[in-house]
Every structure is written in structure tokens, then in C-alpha cells.
A and B are shown apart, each in its own frame.
Chain A
Amino acid sequence: MTEPGSTLEPAGREDAAALECRDVVKTFKRGRRLRRKTMKAVDGASFSIRKGELFGLLGPNGAGKTTLVRCIATLLIPDAGSIRILGRDVFKDSLWCRQRIGLLTSGERTLYWKLSARANLNFFAALYGLSGKERDKRIDYLVELLGLKEVENERLERYSSGMKQKVSVARAILHDPDLILLDEPSLGLDPQFARFIRQFIREELNQRLGKTILITTHYMDEADELCNRIAFISRGKIVDVKSPAAYKRDIPHTEVLEIRVQGQPDTRPVETLPGVERASAEFKDGVTTVKLVLPRAETALADAIELLRTGSKILGVDVKQPTLEDVFLYVTGTSLGADTTEKPDEAGGRPGADGH
């Protein structure tokens, strides 16, 4: 169930939520005239984030996370609903709200590679009205903080992906925003840089600087590690909003039976075994991973193996305690590893669905 929304706050109220989305709808039209289809990327999403909160939007690819973030950042205009930052409507007071938003998206192609880190930051600082000593002081502080001092005057084309992401982080917080939107911030980074980024988000941005952060991810560990509260989003709908601990506590079962099978066998008979509450099957690199959520794994273990090994080789069996990913599967019926992007025709997928 979605967290109950508070009443809309008048502009500028001190006690207003840092971010409040109410019944946000965004549809896209795709395809040629006669074959034109409408896809609901965001379907009545409502949630609010308190000041200083680190809030996660967790959902599989194509769930609508990026589209929702783009609506909040004013990159997209929603069809319906309202989005308020500190009590002000992002489309009526867009310039005021933009001054208070910092955005970080995944992918290294978001900066000028022919310019140095400092030249990039100088340019974006100007867009936020920073100039002169104030700008220089702020950039000095950020390059020092993010460990870019040694390379600040080198062109970005010589940087690694992780270093570029550090510059992107510096840009996102350059103007000292109240609300930071992080869209898959560690996607594509090597583990060391991903760890650094996560640590920086939690310890520096959230705990030390007290920033309100909205982070989208399809990495369960990332959401579990970082977030105070998490909204599950599936097929454009906010399914539930709770703390990671509350999610795990509330799940009414205790075990997950995971079976890895060579090839791509028919998993439907296994998914309908007695006692199975939720099931998913993911095929990757020639291996199908079947996950069954049920009160006690051993009740279905023998039958599941028997059914799956007909024509396929069992590669491994594991019984696990539920993770946030399993909770997501239980609540939404969709695996986080799934791609739920609608593909209407050859005209292309959903804009904003984790890349463009």
C-alpha cells in the first residue's frame, strides 16, 4: 500500500515535504499513426520524502523509475498529477525548484570530454548562477572532497569511468541543492568506484550534509544498504513504501528455494507446486535460475528437482533467507532482474527507461 499522502502544502512552508508526488501519470505515444500505441510509463505514482531522508525507488528495468525522476527534474512534463519540492509545484515554479535539485544519472557520457573537470564545473556553475570567488571556492572544495585535485585540469577524455562519475557527483552538488536525484548512480562502475559512490552518498551527502536524496536503483543491495525508506515500483505503479527492515519483517514466509538449471526448461509446473507463493525464472548466459518463495523450502524441494531435471541438468540448489529482492518478488510478482519495458513495435522502447 502506498504511504498515505499528506495534504498539499502551501508554497514555501518550512514543514513541507522535501518532495511530494501525487498521482503522477506519464504516458508515451509510440509507433506510426495507424499502429500508434499509448504506454503508461508512470501510472498514478504517489509518495512523499521527508527532509534529510535517503529514499529509494526500487524496481526492475522499465518499471518507470527513470521516467518518474525525469518528471521530478522537470525534464518531462507529466500528463497528470502534481510534483512539489519544499511545497512548490515544479512546473509552476520550475526555475525555483530547479535551483534546489541536483541530478546525477548513470552513464559516463554526461559531461564535456574535451574539457577538464574544472572547465566542466565552471560551466555548470554558471548555469546555477555561481560566479567569481564563490564558484572557485566551491569547486576547490568539491575537487578536494572527491579526490580530483591532481587531475582537475586534465581533459575528461583521459579519465576512467569512475573518475567521470566523480565529476558528475561534483556537478550534482555544485550548487548545494536541497534535493539530490540519483538515477542508478553506480550502474556500470567497477566495484571499487561503486563502493566509493555509495559511501559518499550515505556518509557525506546524507549523514554529514543532511541532504534529502532520492535514489533509483535495481540493485537490491544498494537500496538495502543506503535507504531509510524504499518505494517498490512496478509497471509504473508505486506498490509499497516502507523501510528495508519493515519489508523484511512483514514478509509472511521465511525461505527462498533457488535452483539453477542448464538451458531454458519449462518452469511453469514448478511454479505451481503446492505451497509456492511466488515464483520467478530468469535466463542468463545459458542458465535458468528458478526462485520459489514458500514457507518451507523442503516441502517443494524434491518435486521441483524432479520436474526440472527432466531434459535439463541441475547446476545448483540453495535455500536462502529472504532478501529485499525476494520481498520485491513477493510484493510485486516481478523479479528485479526482469525487464518490464513495454515494446510496442519496432519504433523503440519506452523513453526514459534507463537510458535513451
Chain B
Amino acid sequence: MVTVNNRASLQPMVNKATTEFEPCWNTLRGALIDIHNKVVSALSFEHLYRASYKITLRKNGRLLYDKVIEFETQWFREHVLPRIDDLVANNLAGLSLLQIATSSSHERRETGEKFLRGIRERWQDHNTAMNMAADILLYMERTGPEAAVHPSIYAATIGLFRDQVLKYTLDGGQDASDHPFNIFDALISVMLDLINMERDGDVIDRNLLRQTTGMLEQLYDNDDELENEKLYLTGFEPRFLQASCLFYRGECEKLIREADASVWLRHTRRRLEEERVRCMTALPFMTTDKILEVVKTELISAKLDEFMALEGTGLKSMIDNDRLEDLTILYSLISMVDKSKSLLKTLLQNRVMELGLEIEQTLKNTDFSTAAVATDEPTEGAEKSKAQPLNAAAQQTAAAIKWVDDVLHLKDRFDNLLAVCFNQDLVLQSAVTKSFADFINMFNRCSEFVSLFIDDSLKRGLKGKSDQDVELVLQKAIVLLRYLADRDLFERYYQKHLARRLLHAKSDIHIEKELVRRMKTEMGNHFTSKFEGMFKDMEVSKDQSENYREHIRSLGDVDVKKIDLSIHVLTTNYWPPEVMGRGALQEEGTRECIFPPPIKRLQESFFTYYLKNRSGRVLTWVASAGSADIKCVFPKVAGKETGPLSKDRRYELNVSTYGMVVLLLFNDLGEGESLSFDEIQAKTNIPTGDLIKTLASLSIPPKCRVLTKEPLNKAVRPTDTFSFNSQFVSKSIKIKAPVLSSTSKVEGDDERKETERKNYQTRAHVVDAAIVRIMKQRKELSHTQLTTEVIGQLSGRFKPEISLIKKRIEDLLAREYLERIDGDVSAYRYLA
């Protein structure tokens, strides 16, 4: 038995065999010819395999390898190249390379495809043949010592196609003699030409293109067969990308000349899709990203800003005309090239700002015109469809509501854009929101206007409206509220407006509470604490009025029963100072109103009752905030026998508390007597402003003119005198004298300055408190840190100005809450 240590020492199986190289090679050579001629079905694989096996066992593998290469090279020369020459005849290469302008694209395509087909056929034949050759040389491949050093026989023989055919230099014909080129160049030119033709709308043989690129994918730049050195990657793809780059650059320039962003958007989208499809049908898939990148760079990024800025079709026009589809495409394109979408973001923001400022501008113009109408012809100053004339204040209110409506409308539009076109993109959403906040806060009366809008909606708008409408209003209110930076200012206005609504029962208390509840979730507890206090006061007061009535009834006091008291006990801190009669503008407001004796008694009675359960409290009567129902009798006028004046007339007048106080004065007056303005003021001590209003409501509107004024005109002046209007007639029994002060209206410039001044004062206190709070906790802080922390703490309420903070710090230093740290000017220490 033979000991076997190593395979190489084995003898071939058939010992008798005197296997020489030549016979075996001849067998294989014959087989190769048969393979090329495609007559193999009769050949035995085992037979051929055994031939290469034997040669390899004899250590002649290398020789066999070389022989095969040599045979194939020769085969190319003798059988393949002549056919290639045939193919290149007819000036084909010249045609495709030089792109002769006179040749139609149809001709070019025909010849180009013919050329590609020829190459493809040669390649397929060769590839098939070399597969079979590699199959029968399997043993040599597998075991020959050459296997490790040389490229596989398949790779080598396939590589021959590259060397022999693709690099076959053509003499170039008469046209291109100055620069020689080879089949490969011609091939690429034809392919690129075909692709460009397809881009221009021709129908080409995609399958042919696919197979040609497939060939380039199977071939390598050299025999090392590195994955990234495929002929496709080294030879074709770069040139393809470069050619595409030029193509799309030209196209983009053409599009910008046509200056229609809408066309551009659709065109670009189509191009992207086309290239994607091309990479699935005609080109290798791996090129997809690269070619898409080219399209994105050349068609989208390159001129994006110019397209967006186009007059008439650019971004501005898309937004203004609600061209949602355009915007949708735009968004999808921009998302591809720029994840941060900075350009779109900036442009959107600018547009929001522009539109926002436009609203303000329109408002100013509208304001001006209606105000002018109002002063010139007060009776015709009607706005919109309202029949009754609006006074200047009401028009201002209407302007405020218009502003809010416009802002909400704009917001709706952009919300819609974000949802429909921009995929609720967070970046854009926050950018748009920021712009909204910016322009809203740039409008210095935004806080007041928002509060007025809510006031108007709740007072008038909600009567007879469904829950859904109410919900809508609430939502709008909250949306606007979110944008406001100066929330403390809003709080001030809202408090004022809410107070009026509550005291005059102008709105539905449930809706009021719901709105405040939402504000609470949105802004936090401290923001709504005053409002809630107001609600609470209202509730408690209702009970108290009830109980007081009960109390009086139990006393059985008949005299006092004549006046029915309904009282609101208001806690000073919750209610706005204006309502509490402590408005800084009304300097006389501190003076107590002189009530007529019956009222005085009633007040005392209630106060006694009130103090039963709560000692040590002070009640201040705020006449300016109340109202009264008066039953009055107009005696029949002497001398009148017919008509309403001939009998006594009883009416119920609803007037303000001041109105009641004034009217009671006239009870004591005799027939024909009158009171001058000064007399009335002296007897009642009502502040001038309020008295003017009160007298105006009683003596000017025809519906409730229970006083006659001398002289008879449309305005009350301190020089006027008043007398009882015994001729007063009204169709209705209940008459409401319009209480002017209950209409919330836009503040005048002086008032607003005043409000701002007060707000500034409050802010100073708030900033003080914040600084002390922070310093108490941190003990020592630098100026910058302290400023930052203060701004952070107050951001929910308002944006404190740096100068204010600085001032407050200095103030606190002076009051010795803080001290400067020695040697460090810009750092502070807290002094306990």
C-alpha cells in the first residue's frame, strides 16, 4: 500500500496513460473552436474536463492557461475584429462622436442602436463561450498553483474582450484623424447620445442599453478585478454623470429664461422620476443616487433662489394664489436638496412678515378713512352692513376685530399650507409661528386688540350660536394668545374687559370660565388667578344679594323693601383699578359720590348686614360700575286731551347708578325748574367725565330723553342746564339708557400711554421680585447671568427690556438688597 502524504505525488488514475500535453491540448483546442462555433451538445464534458485534469496533474497548468489565452487572442484577431470593422464601417463612429448637426436624431438613433447591437452580440457570444471554457478548465482553476497568482481563466478571457475589442483603436476615418479613438469611446458616445435622445423624448431600446451597461459591469478596468474598478464605474459612469451635468445645466438655464417656476417644478419632478426609471430599466441601479444627485444639483439647487424669486410664478405668487400643488412639489424638491430647508424657511418667514405688516398697513388706511367719515358725517359713518351709525370708538373696535380676523385668516392659510403642502414640517412650522409672533408683536396694540376681539366675540358674537361656533372662537382666542409676547399687558386689558362683561352681565359665564380655563392650561396659574378671583366674587356676591334680600324680608321692614339691592362685592386685587374707581386718569374718582338719602339708608343697611359675618372690612361703593332700574311716572301734561301725553305714563328705566343718582335729584324739583351742570355736580359729586356721559345718555338719544337739555345739541358741555322732560313718550315700557362706559373700545392715545406706563410700573415690581428671588437662591451672580435668568423666568409673561432690568438692579443696589462684589463691577451679591 502506498502512503499518501500529498496530492501532487499521486499518479493519474490510469497508469497505462502516457498522457502527453499535446494530445490533451489538441482535444481542448478543438473543443474551444466548437464552443465558439456553438456546436457543443455532442461533446462530453467529462472528456474535456479530464483532458485539463491530466494536463494540470502533469503540472502543465500554467502552460495550458497561456495556451488558452493565446488561442483566444488569436481568435479575436481572426474572427471577431473583422466583424467589428464591418460594424464600424459606414462612418458610424464619426456620426456618433461628432454629432453632425445635419443628421437627424432618427438616423443617429438607428445607426447607434445598430452599433450597440453588434457589440452586444459579440459580447454575448464571447461571454457564453468563455463560461463554457472556464467550465471545462475547472480542474486547472481549482487546483493549479497558478490559481492564486493569476486572474481566473474566465476573468482573463473576458478581459481579452476589453483589450481586444473595446480598446481596438479605429483609424478614425477622414473626419476624426486628429484624435484617435477606440471602440470603447465610440460605445460610450453612442450610449450617451441615446440617453440624451431619450431625454429629448425619443423612444430608444432600453433593453439594449441595459445589456450594454451590463457588459461594462462585468468587465473590469484591469485584470485585478477590484470591485470598484469595474469598467462601468471607471469608464462609463463618470462620463455619463458629466454629460448629464451639462445636459441639465443647459436645461436649467433654458427654464430660467422661460421664467415660469411652475413649469420648472413639474419639469424637475418629471426629470427625477425619469432618471429613477432609467436606472431601473436601462442603467445599473447603483447609479440611481449619483444621477439623482446630479439632477438635484443642476436642476434644483443651482437656480433655486432665482426660481423662488420669480415675479409672477415664484414663491410669493404660489403663496398668494394658493397654488398648493406647486408648493407641494416645491417642498418635496427642496427636502431632497436641503434638509434644513433654510431658503424656503427664510422666504416663508419673509412672506409672513410682509403679509402681516400688510394687515397693519391696511388697518391704518381703513382706520383713517372711516374715522374721517365719522367726524364729517356722523350719521353716515356706518361700517359694513350695520344700519345704525357707529361712533369713532366703535369703529376703532371694528378695526381691532378686522385686524384680528385678518391675522386669523392669514394663520389659517399658512396652517393649511403647512398641512397640505409642507407635510407638517416642524422646521417650517416653527419658523412660520415665529414670524407670526414677530409681526403680531411688532404691532404695538396687539394685546389690546386681541382682548377686544375676545370681548366682542363673547359679548355679541355668541348669542344664538352653536357649541361648535363657540368652540371655534375659543380656539381662535387661544391661538392668538400664544403669539403674544407681552402677556402682562394682555392680562391688564383682558381684566378690564372681563370686568365690564361680568358687571353688566354681557356674556355667558360658562363660556367665560371655559376660556379662562384654557388660558390657565396655556399660560399657567398666575396668569389667570385674577380672572378666577373675579368669577368667584361674582358667585359669592350673588349669594350675598340673595341672603340679604332674605334677611330684609325676615325683618319685615316695609320701607326699605321699595329698593331691591343686587350687589357685587369685588375684591380689590382681582379687579382692574379703572372699574374700582381708582383710575389714575379720573383724579376726582377718589371723591365719594353723594348718594340720595334712600340709597344711603340702603347702603348702611347692607353694610350692617355684611359686617355681621365679616368684621373689619371696608366697603367702598363704586357708583360708576353699577346700574339701576327705576320705575318712574310721567304725569299727564296739562292741556293735552288726546294722544299719549294726555294720561300718566309709567316706565321702567334702566340707567347707570350715576344716572339714578342724577334722576333722583329731579324728583325734588318743581315744574319748570332746571338744574345746571355745576349744580348737579355739586349735589352728586360725580366726576366730570362720568357726569357728562351720564347726562348725555339721559338727554341726547330720543329713545330715552327723560331730561331736556339747554341748549339742544348733540354734546353735553359743563355750561348746559337740564330740566325734567315732561313730554317724554316711549312705545315700550322698559327703556334702557345706553351705558356708554360699558362698551369696550379701543383706547385713545393718552389712555394707551397711561396703560403702558402703568404696565411698565407693574413690570418694574415683577422684575424686582424676580431679581430678588434669583439672588436669594444663588447668593452671587454676574450681571450677564442674572440678566439671562431674569429673562428666562419672565419669558412666560413678557419680554423684559435689558434697560429695565439694569435699572431695577441699580434700584435694588440703592435699596441695599444687593451689593457689588469687590473688585468685580459686573457681579452682585445678595444681602439677606
Are A and B a genuine interacting pair, yes or no?
no
